[in-house]
Structure formats: C-alpha cells, structure tokens
Amino acid sequence: AQSVAQPEDQVNVAEGNPLTVKCTYSVSGNPYLFWYVQYPNRGLQFLLKYITGDNLVKGSYGFEAEFNKSQTSFHLKKPSALVSDSALYFCAVRDTVSFMNRDDKIIFGKGTRLHILP
C-alpha cells in the first residue's frame, strides 16, 4: 500500500532564507506526487505535481520540488521564503499499481507546518 511520510511536524525559516519541506514516499508502482498547501480554515490548494520527466518541478507561488527516485523523496523548496508562505503543507501520492487495481485515491502525509519568521 502506498504511504507518505513528512518527518517534520514544523519547520521554522527566517524570511528571505531558502526553505525545504521534506517528503518521502512508498508505492508499489511508479509514483505520481503532489504538494498541497492549506491556509487556516481553508481548503487544500494544489501547488505542483510530478508525473514524469524532469526531476525538478516548478509550481505556484515560486515553489518547486525535486523528485529523487533513489531516495524516494519529493522535497518541497523555495529559494527565498515569504511570511505569507506560513501555512500547512501536505505531500501526497498516487501510484500506478493501485490505480490499475482501481484504488483511486490520493494519500496524504501528516502535514508540515511552515512558520516564516519576519
């Protein structure tokens, strides 16, 4: 069964510094990976996805993520953090084997709360 791990409950970064939010995954087939952001009392907003191709994926609000197959990781990054980036970030996965078995769902990690300090 597929799973996602976000090892950090919280990440604190000073404004202007680069940020990384970590994510590792476990799937049976090839992974399709996503990052979502959740602001207080709001729904989940799609940031970016990795399907195939270039391992570095660029998304919304200046975020990017790097797919590393050997390390089964999909870390979220941003070169220069903004206070407005403070939110809850979820990594998510689908895998091809589960999909072929009609397990049509996205599995989320536990989330990482990102605090950008002014």
Q: Which residues bind another protein (CB under 8 A)?
A: 32, 34, 36, 42-46, 49, 51, 90, 94, 96, 99, 102-111
User: Cα–Cα distance between 87 and 38 in angstroms, integer?
Assistant: 6
| Cβ distance to another protein smaller for residue 19 or 107 | 107
**3-state DSSP percent of the chain in helix, strand and coil, to 5:** 10, 50, 40
- Choice between 12 and 45, CB closer to another protein: 45
For residue 58, the minimal CB distance to another protein (Å) is 15
Write down the least CB distance from residue 62 to another protein, Å: 18
Nearer to another protein, 15 or 99 (CB): 99
Integer angstrom CA distances of residue 95 from 27, 57, 60 = 6, 18, 23
- The nearer residue to another protein, 15 or 75, going by C-beta atoms, is 75
d(CA 57, CA 62): 11
Q: Return the SS3 of 61.
A: helix
* Least distance between another protein and beta carbon 14 (Å): 25
